[in-house]
Amino acid sequence: MTAGLGVFLMASGALFAVGAFAVMARRSAVMLLIGGQFMFAAGAIAFVAFGRFGRGATEVNAGPSMALFVVLTAVAQLTLGAAMVVILYRENQTLFPDSDGE
Amino acid sequence: MPLIGALPQPIASAPAITSAPLVLFIYLVLILLLVTALTSAVVRNTVWAIGSFASSMALLALLFLTIAPFLLFAVQLVIYTTISGGLLLGVLRQTTGLERPPSIPFNRTWIAGGAIAAAVGSLLLLVVAATNWPVDLLQRGVLSLPHPFVQTLLDTYAVGLATLVVLMGSAALGTVLLLAMPWTARKGRELPAVGRGPRRSPS
């Protein structure tokens, strides 16, 4: 029993699909944020896996470095997104961005 | 000597992980990660969704501990999981409001959460007891500073790091400006619908 690159890539793809489902199917702004975070996390897993197993990476730490950038960018996106959700709620008294508050 | 303009050659492929406890742990973490992510995407209760989301991010940190440098695990666990969970709960408090927990502290929810946490914790203890895996990683990560990963970040990706600092600073500034912005409620919401419009004389 081994754990190679394929296992991590499959998990990454599945996590991306879950995130895309949350973004497309759920209407709440909080769920949009969470779905976006899952897609970021899927990218980070793929970067780390490619770095760990060395397929195409030019150095060992290239993948984790990119994953670190992805994680911190996701934090920035989440911070701004949370502020926008609060503004949305103040304006419309709802967490659903595609409704006009009625 | 490399030719000018030649592409850097990729490093040799590393073999797959074959250590049985580590492989089992990786599979378990991956399965739990997908289950908690799916729960978070499907469940209707927003608090449960945020809890599942924070759990999946903590599991992702555990996954990083197995195949990535220690710094990435620390960033994922300390910064990302804490900030994301805290931010989302803060959003809920600012918007729809979080209800206080019921006065009985040990209701079903707490018991289920405690059982899941105990199961995951005991599994981790089992892996620690059966193998020397995280101790060895901790020693390499903490005691051998400067870590090669940090050196790579500082040497090769200095511009990327600087860009990231600017990005995070501007995101923080934007967040503060957004939250400090004076806001006005929509006109239809300021007054009750009954009192608006020209007054009619009673007939």
* Strand partners of residue A3: B17
pLDDT in tens, B163-180: 888 888 888 888 888 888
The string of DSSP codes covering A36-70 is: HHHHHHHHHHHHHHHHHHTSS-SSTTHHHHHHHHH
Q: Nearest residue of B to residue A77 by CA position?
A: B171
In which band, very low, low, confident or very high, does the pLDDT at A101 lie, cut at 50, 70 and 90? very low
Task: Please answer yes or no on whether A64 and B68 come within 8 Å at the CB atom.
Answer: yes
Quick one: pLDDT at residue A93? Answer: 75
CA of A15 vs chain B CAs: smallest distance (Å)? 6
CA distance linking residue B191 with residue B200, whole number of Å:
18
pLDDT in tens, B39-64: 999 988 888 888 899 889 989 988 98
Task: Please answer yes or no on whether B37 and A75 come within 8 Å at the CB atom.
Answer: no
ipTM score for this prediction:
0.89
pLDDT in tens, B181-203: 776 655 445 444 444 445 445 55
Higher-confidence residue of B53 and B90: namely: B53
Residue B184's SS3 state is: coil
pLDDT in tens, A41-77: 999 999 999 888 876 666 778 888 889 899 889 988 9
Confidence (pTM): 0.73
Quick one: pLDDT at residue A17? Answer: 96
Q: Is the pLDDT of residue B95 over 90?
A: no
Distances (CA, A) of A56 to A50, A62, B19, B102: 7, 10, 24, 54
CA of B202 vs chain A CAs: smallest distance (Å)? 31
Quick one: pLDDT at residue B192? Answer: 46
Residue A89 — φ and ψ, nearest 5°? -70, -40
Residues B50, B56, B61, B63, Cα dihedral to 10°: 180
Interface test with B, best of A10, A21, A27, A65 (most B CBs within 10 A): A65
- One-letter amino acid at A95 equals L
Q: Give the Cα-Cα-Cα angle A49, A50, A55 (nearest 5 degrees).
A: 140
Q: Exposed, middle or buried, B130 (CB in 10 Å: 0-12/13-18/19+)?
A: exposed
CATH dotted code for A8-92:
1.10.287.3510
